[in-house]
A and B are shown apart, each in its own frame.
Chain A
């Protein structure tokens, strides 16, 4: 299977070296990097692009690619001699935000980028960029040139309406500027990065099992999936094997998190349309899922159960029967609510043709997760790059092509059914007693880890030093991809009052994006 991505890489002039059955690494000179990656990103998918800068080491650029129908990942990297590199954005649109991030975080200049304005830093004082300390080469580049002016629209009756960063209810901090002529939403400008905590930088130099705590706190509502991507990267880098029983437990917990997160998205969507009974019903389900998680692992958001090399959660007979009963009950209630939502025309009317993201746009941005699958992007890392125990489970990956809020709703509804189905299949084999997880001996290495988070594919590339400490952790959670086309989706003939529906239908995490 892996021959096709490999053949493509070889055709592009790279010499890929397999580091695992499903992971190829290739190195190329700086001058060739942009052309080679651009050639691969045509038939393939650019999943990530990032820089690594560290003390007394030359800056490096790394691209992660995949090819539909191929289980392999391809990691291409290059070493930079100076503080600039040739921008990939004119050839590959999806690279745009990655390069803006590289510029503001590492101080490396993407030459030829059409609009390299900062993404996440506000009023950052002159000085070293937050992710680039100690690299004398990177510091040659000035920190930030004056920001590129944001596009504005002028005209009679056109006004701007700011929202955030302090929101009306208990929501995450983010700011939006709406341009409107009264009712219609002409343009939305995003201002993100309010929650930038420099999680990746804080992990550098920590032993892997301590950095795992940070991975669990990258985003609370997708804590398990992001931590699983990190743990898997560490395990693959250090050659640690995980027992089939632990893989099964990880799969069950990951699906529990997905169901809970999807129910929460539906609760917010119902509340945004004023359907309060539906909001309360989904809210009940979310709370029950959180309590079930606490009963299994001692934490409502599944923190603390994941270990490098295993997992600490078990389910004895009575607990398993209780959980099986709960899963059956959730499935029954989810089906009932789904049929009710389908009959509620005032709800459906708010969603149909709202915030349309055309399939061509999903392709352009390599969209992941439910938002991508609602716009025809048939990608799901559980099926495309099987990990944990997903190869043993049967599940459907729903794909719709409407690209509107109604299609996103549909994908969420069908994924809940699929995930509860996976739980039903795997719960029978859930080990009765947890296995003791001895801290594995870690060694030097680099590897990619991934997991399908509720919002889509979460990637982690981890570089360990000889002592098992994290030299670099690159986290690319799904929201890092899916925020990119959000503003475009807002423009498709929507009204100001549609914004809560739009926001809820995408269900994008700010903590994941800001990091």
Chain B
């Protein structure tokens, strides 16, 4: 046993700061895709929409007028738009991609004859920020995790949160084995018919105030399984969601940002559209 202790001590401190300095994070795994909309031509928009395997990029119209909807909440990070149109779509290495409002993951563009594409204002959904609840959880957070039908990618990343590289516990965040002790319900996977009842029962068993996190693109928007015959769709069709963490799966750093956002200890920074033309 002493040799184990020696092994542990010899390893030293491995924990990465958050947000991780460049090169120390998840080694180049993008957490999102950004749209450089100023460089978007109607033809590119239509071609990118045809290329996208999910509903992350949808476009209607012609070369003269039309609309494009870009939604990170449906993006499985397959990278096809990035490979085909690198001048418009760029991978985002910054893991701070979680948001409190589903609409903030999306960008809507219109182009009219004689005008360059411009973002259309999105209808602002009523902000469901429960500030008081979040303040209560600022120091410590207990998570109840429910796998509502994932591929196990998200669970694998959640397990990585407890490894020394991330070490969730140093931030006062813990997984709890009972809903009665939980502050936040963290849900992964598209909600399957077989898991819906257990998911609702877990939420009901948690004391208020409580927060709900949708982790991974399946829980956020259905991902690859949106519209499947055996799924109930994204999580917010079943429960009120407070924080959305996109990604397929979200990296440990992105999960951490989502959790800190729920605790009001991190900023809600993302923007799926990039206005600058400095390029990818």
B230 lies within 8 A of A198 (CB): yes
Query: Binary interface profile of A, 164-179, with partner B (CB < 8 Å = 1, else 0)?
Result: 0111111111000000
B interface bracket (residues with beta carbon within 8 Å of A): 35 or more
With the chains together, A280 CA to B9 CA distance in Å?
12
| Chain A residues within 8 Å of B79, by CB | 298-299, 304
The stretch among A40-48, A75-83, A288-296, A402-410 that forms the contact with chain B is A288-296
The stretch among A17-25, A63-71, A218-226, A378-386 that forms the contact with chain B is A218-226
B47 CB-CB contact with A under 8 Å? no
B29 CB-CB contact with A under 8 Å? yes
In B13-59, the 8 Å CB interface with A consists of: 14, 26-30, 53
| Chain B residues within 8 Å of A217, by CB | 76, 151, 153, 223-225, 248
A340 CB-CB contact with B under 8 Å? yes
B53 lies within 8 A of A294 (CB): no
A214 CB-CB contact with B under 8 Å? yes
A170 lies within 8 A of B163 (CB): no
A195 lies within 8 A of B195 (CB): yes
A158 CB-CB contact with B under 8 Å? no
| Chain B residues within 8 Å of A509, by CB | 152
A173 lies within 8 A of B146 (CB): yes
A169 lies within 8 A of B175 (CB): yes
In A286-321, the 8 Å CB interface with B consists of: 286-287, 290-292, 294-295, 298-301, 303-304, 312
Query: Binary interface profile of B, 206-243, with partner A (CB < 8 Å = 1, else 0)?
Result: 00000000000000000111001111000000000000
In A323-337, the 8 Å CB interface with B consists of: 336-337
Q: Smallest CB–CB gap between B173 and chain A, Å?
A: 12
A171 lies within 8 A of B228 (CB): no
- Known interface pairs A170-B175, A295-B27. Does A284 touch B11 (Cβ–Cβ under 8 Å)? yes
A281 lies within 8 A of B11 (CB): yes
| Chain B residues within 8 Å of A281, by CB | 7-8, 11
Q: Smallest CB–CB gap between B166 and chain A, Å?
A: 8
A210 lies within 8 A of B53 (CB): yes
B249 CB-CB contact with A under 8 Å? yes
| Chain B residues within 8 Å of A5, by CB | none
With the chains together, A451 CA to B28 CA distance in Å?
27
Q: Smallest CB–CB gap between B260 and chain A, Å?
A: 17
Question: What residue of chain A has the Cβ atom nearest to residue B201's Cβ?
Answer: A166
Q: Smallest CB–CB gap between A11 and chain B, Å?
A: 42
In B78-116, the 8 Å CB interface with A consists of: 78-79, 83, 91
With the chains together, A376 CA to B46 CA distance in Å?
56
Q: Which of B27, B154, B230 contacts A196 (CB 8 A)?
A: B230
A interface bracket (residues with beta carbon within 8 Å of B): 35 or more
With the chains together, A210 CA to B26 CA distance in Å?
27
B60 CB-CB contact with A under 8 Å? no
- Known interface pairs A195-B147, A281-B7. Does A304 touch B78 (Cβ–Cβ under 8 Å)? yes
With the chains together, A218 CA to B249 CA distance in Å?
13
B7 lies within 8 A of A294 (CB): no
In B140-197, the 8 Å CB interface with A consists of: 144-166, 175, 177, 179, 189-190, 192-195
Q: Smallest CB–CB gap between B151 and chain A, Å?
A: 4
With the chains together, A169 CA to B177 CA distance in Å?
6
B225 lies within 8 A of A195 (CB): no
A93 CB-CB contact with B under 8 Å? no
Query: Binary interface profile of A, 121-139, with partner B (CB < 8 Å = 1, else 0)?
Result: 1101000001000000000
A278 lies within 8 A of B4 (CB): yes
A264 CB-CB contact with B under 8 Å? yes
Q: Smallest CB–CB gap between B57 and chain A, Å?
A: 14
A287 lies within 8 A of B153 (CB): no
B1 CB-CB contact with A under 8 Å? yes
With the chains together, A166 CA to B79 CA distance in Å?
33
A396 CB-CB contact with B under 8 Å? no
With the chains together, A287 CA to B195 CA distance in Å?
29
Q: Smallest CB–CB gap between B203 and chain A, Å?
A: 11
With the chains together, A221 CA to B26 CA distance in Å?
17
B53 lies within 8 A of A213 (CB): yes
B145 lies within 8 A of A294 (CB): no
Question: What residue of chain B has the Cβ atom nearest to residue A175's Cβ?
Answer: B198
Q: Which of B91, B153, B165, B192 contacts A195 (CB 8 A)?
A: B192
A170 lies within 8 A of B230 (CB): no
| Chain A residues within 8 Å of B150, by CB | 172, 195, 220, 511
Besides A195-B150, A198-B229, A300-B249, 16 other A-B contacts (C-beta < 8 A): A121-B194, A166-B179, A171-B145, A173-B146, A194-B198, A199-B225, A201-B228, A217-B225, A223-B153, A284-B164, A290-B26, A300-B251, A303-B248, A304-B79, A509-B152, A511-B152
20 contacts across the A-B interface (CB closer than 8 A): A130-B229, A169-B159, A170-B145, A171-B145, A171-B155, A173-B147, A173-B195, A194-B192, A196-B194, A197-B192, A202-B224, A220-B156, A286-B160, A287-B163, A291-B27, A294-B27, A300-B251, A336-B7, A337-B7, A509-B152
Which residues of A come within 8 Å of B, CB atoms? Answer: 120-122, 124, 130, 165-173, 193-199, 201-202, 210, 213-214, 217-221, 223, 264, 267, 275, 277-278, 280-281, 283-284, 286-287, 290-292, 294-295, 298-301, 303-304, 312, 336-337, 340, 343-344, 509-511
